[in-house]
Amino acid sequence: MAAIDVTTPTDAEALAARILSRRTRPLVLVSTSRDGEFLFDIDRLRDELADVAEVVTIETGAPSKRCESLLPDKTQAFDGAARSYPPDFADDPVWTRSRLRFPAYATTDDLVEDALGQTPVTTVRSRQAPGPQRVSGTVEGLLADASLALVRLDDGSTLTATAARLPADLPLDWALTPGATVTGIVEGSELHPEPAADPVFTDDDVTLAVVTKVTDLRATVLLHPRVAVILRRRDVTGDPDRPVGDVLHVGEVIRVRLRHDNGHLAASYADTTGVEPLVAAPALVVGGSPWLVEGRAVARLTESDEADAAHAAAATASTPAATPPATAIVPAELSHLTAEIKRLRGDILALAGVVGRISTAGAGTNGTGESARLRQENDRLRELLREERASRATAEARLAQTADRHREAGRALREAKKSAARPARAEATEASFRDEIEHLWHERTADGERSDWPLRDYALGPQFLTTFAELNDSLRTKALRACVEAITGRDREIPARDLHRLRSGDGGDDPYIVRADGARCWRSAVEQNVPGARRLHYWELAGGTIELSRIVHHDDTAP
């Protein structure tokens, strides 16, 4: 394991002073876990960032606590977490300028990209050693079923852009369009576009959305791949008897007017006229064009696509043993195809140069015989040039397919390793659930706060464990947090929980749901800004006892 740089409170004081001083490079701080282990790859961080950023490690315990006491609120790192501080952090030392990365949800690549994003472009380009480089260019076209994009860089060179670094919900052909500019990181011969920051939507703006689901009563639209909004029938047709499907269709790009209802984003199609000023849809990558354009349908994220993806994921998970051989073979094929494409690029450039020289020579030749010979040679070379270009297109298509197989095989292998490393998840029982609740409460509530936020008496409704058992590991963790905050009453102070009483209908004047014994039903957000985001429904009984009812999808409004 790499040696720890900051191991004493005195070291921590020097580190805090360094973080809060003007620097020429970002400073990446990585803490150890409570067991003294690094959960990010320190050697790789130092190798890839080299002289672009400082990488400093700190021991969790007395050194991290001393550092925390000297830094502004919420800008520390401990328990295995890490963050990158920009060179000018001292000018505005707020936590939003230095994103905290938890090892459970982030990778070493995320830390590398954080540091590169804080590095002046001149610093990145001045590096002599090969490594990541930030560049910009223009999209010339999409290749291989839109899984690759051809980008001409500002210096005149050409690279292929891939979606390998984009989140799974940002397809390349949504993010890039021919003629648009793009900024990204170069690694080897590939350009990795940078995802744009999450968009901010303003009340009364009219913008574009794509329809992803339609029923008679409602439609689901995306303002951004990570921002879904439900349109009720009255928001679409304005007619309480007309089905939504008569007006909207899956894949259609529509105008919507935005508003906020009870603190969450809502939209209306019926309130648009088609002539009002339009706020462009957000770009999905830095420097990119709007991801939605009027008149262009989007045939992604339909229900059938989601089902196919789920089936594919299930098939992959059920046969992890078949994955390792593929990962052993594919890298060699990738290397071969990449070398072949580089060769073809060189051949094409050379042939283009020869054709140009022969054309110029032919134009200046007076002899008829010599001119005819040069024209024949020119025609022959042009044919060779066409063949080389066709070969390159074929090789690039094969490279794209192989890269896809490589990524899928790697993902499946990683999942198989994770599954093998952890014990099989036991079925949820009331006893095991209560143990997890108590453990999480101790873990997430500081010693001095436990008297303020005690675990109140709570019960489990007849359907609760069934709905909880249906969740995957990630969702179980999120649901447990929501349950702890409901039991302690802390969810009332956390805006992200979007806590509100459950009503008997969709209208703001519909009565609240109250059970025969006087219990009131509450609805709390388990996750946000994803299609079908989960919600926790629970009852608050007379006297303050909590009864956890169900974990449901966003559209499920039954208690």
How many angstroms separate the CA atoms of 84 and 29, rounded?
A: 6
Task: For residues 104 and 28, state if they share a domain.
Answer: yes
Question: Which pLDDT band, with edges at 50, 70 and 90, does 49 fall under?
Answer: confident
What DSSP designation does 420 have?
H
441-458: average pLDDT: 85
Q: Show which of 93, 123, 153 is a domain's final residue.
A: 123
Secondary structure class of 503 (helix, strand, coil): strand
**191 domain-assigned:** no
How many angstroms separate the CA atoms of 30 and 19, rounded?
A: 13
CATH number at residue 276: 2.40.50.140
Of 98-107, 372-381, 546-555, which range is least confident? Answer: 372-381
Q: Show which of 95, 123, 151 is a domain's final residue.
A: 123
**249 domain-assigned:** yes
Task: For residues 448 and 415, state if they share a domain.
Answer: no
Task: For residues 15 and 117, state if they share a domain.
Answer: yes
How many angstroms separate the CA atoms of 427 and 421, rounded?
A: 18
Place of tokens 């984009």: 166
**539 domain-assigned:** yes
Q: Show which of 103, 123, 143 is a domain's final residue.
A: 123
State the pLDDT at residue 126.
39
State the pLDDT at residue 169.
60
Task: Give the pLDDT confidence of 337-359 residue by residue, as tens digits.
Answer: 555 565 555 555 555 555 554 55
Q: Is 27 exposed, middle or buried (0-12, 13-18, 19+ CB in 10 A)?
A: buried
Question: Which pLDDT band, with edges at 50, 70 and 90, does 207 fall under?
Answer: very high
Contact by Cβ (8 Å): 305, 210: no
Identify the top-confidence range among 258-267, 406-415, 423-432.
258-267
Task: For residues 482 and 519, state if they share a domain.
Answer: yes
Task: For residues 547 and 448, state if they share a domain.
Answer: yes
- Is the whole-model pTM more than 0.75? no
State the pLDDT at residue 168.
63
59-76: average pLDDT: 92
Domain containing 98 equals 9-123
**227 domain-assigned:** yes
Of 468-472, 479-483, 506-510, 536-540, which range is least confident? Answer: 506-510
Number of domains in the chain: 4
**211 domain-assigned:** yes
State phi, psi for 128 to the nearest 5 degrees: -90, -30
Q: 366: which 2 tokens?
A: 């007076």
What DSSP designation does 122 have?
H
Task: For residues 466 and 415, state if they share a domain.
Answer: no
196-210: average pLDDT: 88
How many angstroms separate the CA atoms of 216 and 233, rounded?
A: 8
Task: For residues 334 and 408, state if they share a domain.
Answer: yes
CATH number at residue 448: 3.30.2310.20
Question: Which pLDDT band, with edges at 50, 70 and 90, does 394 fall under?
Answer: confident
The sign of the dihedral angle between the CA atoms of 143, 144, 145, 149 is: negative
Contact by Cβ (8 Å): 31, 60: yes
Task: Give the pLDDT confidence of 475-529 residue by residue, as tens digits.
Answer: 888 999 999 999 999 998 888 888 999 988 877 788 999 999 999 999 999 988 7
Task: For residues 60 and 14, state if they share a domain.
Answer: yes
Task: For residues 547 and 437, state if they share a domain.
Answer: yes
The sign of the dihedral angle between the CA atoms of 300, 303, 305, 310 is: positive
Place of tokens 């939209």: 267
State the pLDDT at residue 463.
93
Task: For residues 412 and 503, state if they share a domain.
Answer: no
State the pLDDT at residue 338.
57
The sign of the dihedral angle between the CA atoms of 504, 508, 511, 517 is: positive
For the cut 90, the answer to whether the pLDDT of residue 59 exceeds it is yes
State phi, psi for 549 to the nearest 5 degrees: -95, -65
Q: 294: which 2 tokens?
A: 């009027």
State the pLDDT at residue 289.
79
**163 domain-assigned:** no
How many angstroms separate the CA atoms of 502 and 432, rounded?
A: 28
Question: Which pLDDT band, with edges at 50, 70 and 90, does 308 fall under?
Answer: very low
Contact by Cβ (8 Å): 318, 167: no
How many angstroms separate the CA atoms of 233 and 217, rounded?
A: 5
Kindly state the helix (H) or strand (E) to which residue 335 belongs, with its residue range: helix 323-363
Q: Is 451 exposed, middle or buried (0-12, 13-18, 19+ CB in 10 A)?
A: exposed
465-474: average pLDDT: 89
CATH number at residue 48: 3.40.30.10
How many angstroms separate the CA atoms of 115 and 54, rounded?
A: 9
State the pLDDT at residue 239.
78
Contact by Cβ (8 Å): 280, 207: yes
Task: For residues 484 and 548, state if they share a domain.
Answer: yes
More confident residue, 533 or 398: 533
Q: Please state, in angstroms and as integers, the Cα–Cα distance from residue 395 to each residue in 152, 171, 242, following that order.
A: 19, 22, 52
Question: Which pLDDT band, with edges at 50, 70 and 90, does 409 fall under?
Answer: low
Kindly report the average pLDDT of the chain as a whole number: 78
Contact by Cβ (8 Å): 261, 503: no
More confident residue, 464 or 109: 464
Q: How many CB atoms lie within 10 A of CB 557?
A: 17
How many angstroms separate the CA atoms of 510 and 508, rounded?
A: 6
**136 domain-assigned:** no
Question: Which pLDDT band, with edges at 50, 70 and 90, does 417 fall under?
Answer: low
State the pLDDT at residue 50.
77
Task: For residues 453 and 365, state if they share a domain.
Answer: no
**413 domain-assigned:** yes
380-388: average pLDDT: 70
How many angstroms separate the CA atoms of 378 and 356, rounded?
A: 9
